A and B are shown apart, each in its own frame.
Chain A
Amino acid sequence: MAWNYKPGVPIYQQIVSIMKAGIASGTYPAGSRVPTVREMALEAGVNPNTMQRAFAEMEREGYFYSVRTSGRYVTEDTEKLKDLRKSLSQAHIGELFRQLRGLGMKDEEILTAVREWTETEGREPAAGRKE
């Protein structure tokens, strides 16, 4: 169905990761209303109990908060969002280095290669960039 899940990891944890990435990337903007458990369950192709558990975890970690009658919202805590972006980017960088070290590259070589890449094919789009 809509989302893909890896084997061997509880689905609610995978949903938590996907939602965190969604917050960091702006799919779920700070302060925006989160869809209901039912809507999200349908979108993610999981049952509502699983989604409820993922939401509870997001609340426990402070990324979502509930307002009694009007629903659930994404946190507006900018420090928290900054930390989230940082920890997600750290994970990506860690993965990149693990992979490239696995290919036998030295860290200096990796850094040089990354710089070269950004200057050629991986160049950042000049306009319309989100920040």
Chain B
Amino acid sequence: MSNILECRNLTKKFGPVTALDSVNLELVPGRIVGLLGPNGSGKTTMIKLAARLLQPTSGEILIDGMAPGAESKEIISYLPDRDFLPDYMNVEGLLGFYQDFYEDFDRERAVGMLENLGIDLSMGLKKMSKGTREKVQLILTMSRRARIYLLDEPIAGVDPAARDYILRTIISNYDEEAMVLISTHLISDVESILDEAIFIREGRVLLFDSCDAIRERTGKSLDTYFRETFAY
């Protein structure tokens, strides 16, 4: 199986601060991968490099064998860690927006998921609660038929029911041709849906392994193991 995302000595510095330090990783399609680390460990930097919102200082990142560019952008569906919904639009307008921008946007799929949530297409985005906005953003992101889904903190700050909904949405959109990378520090919430975990601290990859292998080897949950690894 060829790598869908590969980092070779990937380094990113912001002035004197090294956000990512010689990261080497090889990720294959068909997996749901957790990018796990405390705040400030380099998770968002890594995702932004993959989404080509940042340029590496040195080393390289390859998307399906290519350097990030216009072509790679087409196969990446990215959910930023910030709310990006324009307040002046309604859901219908937003769907049109996605359809215009992304050829691989599956409108029917998005509408189906929105209907399941009881969201009216004429609803203004301004009127939505934080949890609903998060769900709508995830639905849009997962409704693209992409090869790589980059989800930056998709469950931060939502209630447990919304969190379950989001995790179920990720599972039900599983595609063996695609890889899902989820960054989060809420490990106990996501660990049952992950195939593999990347532990990252101070810009370095401490561990990259299958979750079941970690549980088997350590006799602990990922969450417990993480707390021990990152206890200062």
In chain A, positions 1-20 with a C-beta closer than 8 Å to chain B are 1, 5, 7-12
Q: Are A41 and B171 in contact (CB under 8 A)?
A: yes
Q: CA of A47 to CA of B33 in the docked complex: distance in angstroms? A: 11
Question: With contacts A1-B167, A41-B174, A47-B171 known, is A11 near B220, CB below 8 A?
Answer: no
Q: CA of A41 to CA of B32 in the docked complex: distance in angstroms? A: 13
Q: How many A-B residue pairs have CB under 8 A?
A: 60
Instruction: Give min CB distance, B176 to chain A, whole Å.
Output: 8
Q: CA of A71 to CA of B178 in the docked complex: distance in angstroms? A: 24
Which of B93-101, B121-129, B192-200 lies at the interface?
A: B192-200
Contacts of A47 in B (CB 8 A): 32, 171, 174, 192-195
In chain A, positions 89-115 with a C-beta closer than 8 Å to chain B are none
Decide if A25 is an interface residue (CB 8 Å cutoff). no
Question: With contacts A1-B164, A47-B195 known, is A8 near B174, CB below 8 A?
Answer: no
Q: CA of A45 to CA of B223 in the docked complex: distance in angstroms? A: 17
Q: CA of A48 to CA of B211 in the docked complex: distance in angstroms? A: 14
Contacts of A7 in B (CB 8 A): 215, 219-221, 223-224
- What 1/0 flags go to A34-46 for Cβ under 8 Å of B? 0000100110111
Instruction: Give min CB distance, A100 to chain B, whole Å.
Output: 27
- Residue among B164, B192, B212 with max Cβ neighbours from chain A (10 Å): B192
Which of A8, A12, A45 has a CB less than 8 Å from the CB of B193?
Answer: A45
Instruction: Give min CB distance, A3 to chain B, whole Å.
Output: 8
Contacts of A11 in B (CB 8 A): 192, 211-212, 215
Q: Are A1 and B220 in contact (CB under 8 A)?
A: no
Task: Give the size of the chain A interface in residues (CB under 8 angstroms).
Answer: 18
Decide if B109 is an interface residue (CB 8 Å cutoff). no
Chain B residue nearest to A10 (CB atoms) is B212
Q: Are B168 and A45 in contact (CB under 8 A)?
A: yes
Contacts of B2 in A (CB 8 A): none
Task: Give the size of the chain B interface in residues (CB under 8 angstroms).
Answer: 23
Instruction: Give min CB distance, A9 to chain B, whole Å.
Output: 6
Decide if B30 is an interface residue (CB 8 Å cutoff). yes
Contacts of A46 in B (CB 8 A): 171, 192-193
In chain B, positions 17-31 with a C-beta closer than 8 Å to chain A are 30-31
In chain B, positions 132-175 with a C-beta closer than 8 Å to chain A are 164, 167-168, 171-172, 174
Q: Are A9 and B168 in contact (CB under 8 A)?
A: no
Q: Are A10 and B171 in contact (CB under 8 A)?
A: no
Contacts of A42 in B (CB 8 A): 168, 171-172
Q: CA of A1 to CA of B164 in the docked complex: distance in angstroms? A: 6
Question: With contacts A11-B212, A45-B167 known, is A1 near B192, CB below 8 A?
Answer: yes
Q: Are B192 and A38 in contact (CB under 8 A)?
A: no
Contacts of A8 in B (CB 8 A): 215, 218-221
Instruction: Give min CB distance, A39 to chain B, whole Å.
Output: 10
Q: CA of A45 to CA of B221 in the docked complex: distance in angstroms? A: 16
7 pairs, A vs B, C-beta closer than 8 Å: A7-B223, A8-B215, A8-B221, A10-B212, A38-B172, A38-B174, A42-B172
By a beta-carbon cutoff of 8 Å, the part of chain A in contact with chain B is 1, 5, 7-12, 38, 41-42, 44-50
Known: A41-B174, A50-B195. 16 other contacts (CB 8 A): A1-B192, A5-B192, A7-B219, A7-B223, A7-B224, A8-B215, A9-B215, A10-B215, A41-B171, A42-B171, A42-B172, A44-B192, A45-B167, A45-B192, A47-B195, A50-B212
